[in-house]
Structure 1
Amino acid sequence: MADTDPRRITDLDTLKAFGHPLRMKLYRALYIARSATASQLADQVDEAVSLVSYHLRKLADHGLIEEAEQQGTDGRERWWRTASQGLSVHDEDFTDAPEKAATHAAVGRMSFEQRSDLYRGYLDTQGAWDADWRRAAFSSEYLAPLTAGELAALSHEMHELVKKYEAAGRAAEDTGDTAGRENVALHLYAFPFRT
């Protein structure tokens, strides 16, 4: 990944480009793999290589992914990687026009649905994981009376903690230490609500 910070999407065209269900899946798969070809990604998302190639080019047109260093011996294969260490989308960047707000909300819902599908997949197959992984996995809900400032501080601390563990895992993979490692999804949502 070229940029080690998350890319903040601030324009409507890029948000729309990312806000396609298949593109979101491809971005996630590419982020996990670190680099891959359209053929490899097509196998993961169960779509035609030509369709995956088209959507990868659309992500690249908006700078969300980029070409990666060639791997293997087949010079015809085009390798891709994410252009940054993740993406972020902030509400304040999309509140000045109804279309922006609606697109932001739609992309947020789609992202939530894909994350929910990922978790449902784990729940459906959790019996296949060994006991150590089942004990380590968790789902929690915390309900706390906070100020907006406290919630912002909590969010920052959580992001820093997750980034620490993610960096350690990637560094271990870079040195070939893959024994016992699995991809782990951590979904956090923090939002105000009234009863």
Structure 2
Amino acid sequence: MKQIYDLDMLRVLTSRFRMKLFSLLFRIGPVTVSELARRMDADPGQVSYHLRQMQKHDLIEDVPELARDSRERWVRASMGGFVVMDLKTPEARAVVRAWNSQRVIDQFERLRDFERTHMTLPEEWQDASFGGSHHLRLTRDELWQLAEQLNAVLQPWRELTKSRVESSEAPPDTRPVFIFYHAFPEEP
């Protein structure tokens, strides 16, 4: 996980279009710009523009070894995820709020899309998906500990995914899997 201290990097991802583009790159791995444009239902020039903005901040990288000719551009996400570090200025908090708002919108849209289309998946994949909610009573330190434990559980799976994406040698029955969870204090 890359630690983000750069406000400009986060600003790039406050764009709804870029957030969706970035999310798509994580799901599908290396891909051509034309395929991204098709999947985003957007003009290739528009996609290229947004990719350049993301590349300025090392969010994506070119994969020239996959290109069949000089006109074909392949790209991929340049990191396996990131965590936003403690940014304390009012400007930083505003940027983090804008980014987080886009991130949450993206997460729930993806969940809504899954719920709308999950019956089209093979039955074994329908049975493997899961979700849940839990009501806990914790201290602030215990909540931090819970976050660290959840991240530790996911770390080997992130590493496996990264190696599969980088080598392009995933088992044929592999699918992108999206996991998201939120843990936050509520008023009683």
TM-score, normalisation: structure 1:
0.86
**SS of the residue 1:14 aligns to:** helix
Q: Distance in 1 between matches of 2:141 and 2:64?
A: 42
Question: Match for 1:63: what amino acid?
Answer: D
Q: What SS is found at the alignment partner of 1:70?
A: helix
Gaps of 5+ in 2: none
Higher RCO by CA contacts (8 Å cutoff, separation 6 or greater): 2
Identity of matched residues, %: 27
Say whether residues 1:145 and 2:155 are aligned partners.
no
C-alpha distance in structure 2 between counterparts of 1:137 and 1:193, whole Å: 27
Equivalent position amino acid for 1:190 in 2: A
Counterparts in 2 of 1:117-132, with a 5 A limit?
A: 117-132=109-124
Is 1:193–2:186 an aligned residue pair? yes
- For residues 136 and 43 of structure 1, the distance between their equivalents in structure 2, rounded to whole angstroms, comes to 29
The question of whether the paired residues in 2 share the 8 Å contact of 1:70 and 1:78 is answered with: no
1:53-72 → structure 2 map (5 Å cutoff): 53-72=48-67
- Displacement, 1:150? 1.6
Displacement, 1:175?
Answer: 7.2
1:84 counterpart residue number = 79
Residue 48 of structure 1: how far off its partner (Å): 0.5
2:156 aligns with: 164
Any gaps of 5 or more consecutive residues in structure 1? 1-5
In structure 2, relative to structure 1, the CA distance for the partners of 1:7 and 1:172 (3 Å cut) is closer
Aligned CA RMSD, in angstroms, stands at 1.9
Contact preservation (8 Å) 2:60, 2:75: yes
In the aligned structure 2, how far is the partner of 1:145 from the partner of 1:191?
11
Partner of 2:21: 26
Structure 1 residues 108 and 52, CA gap change in structure 2 (3 angstroms): same
Counterpart among 182, 187, 195 of residue 175 in structure 2: 182
What secondary structure is seen at the aligned counterpart in 1 of 2:132? coil
Residue 56 of structure 1: how far off its partner (Å): 0.2
Q: When the two structures are superposed, what TM-score results if normalisation uses the length of structure 2?
A: 0.89
Aligned residues: 187
1:101 matched residue in structure 2? 93
Please tell me whether residue 113 in structure 1 is matched to residue 105 in structure 2: yes
1:188 match: secondary structure? coil
Measured after TM superposition, the shift of residue 171 of structure 1 is: 4.3
SS at match of 1:88: strand
Deviations 1:127-153 (CA, angstroms, capped at 9, x unpaired): 112322222211201111112222112
Moved more, 162-171 or 145-154: 162-171
Question: How far off its partner does 1:31 sit?
Answer: 1.9
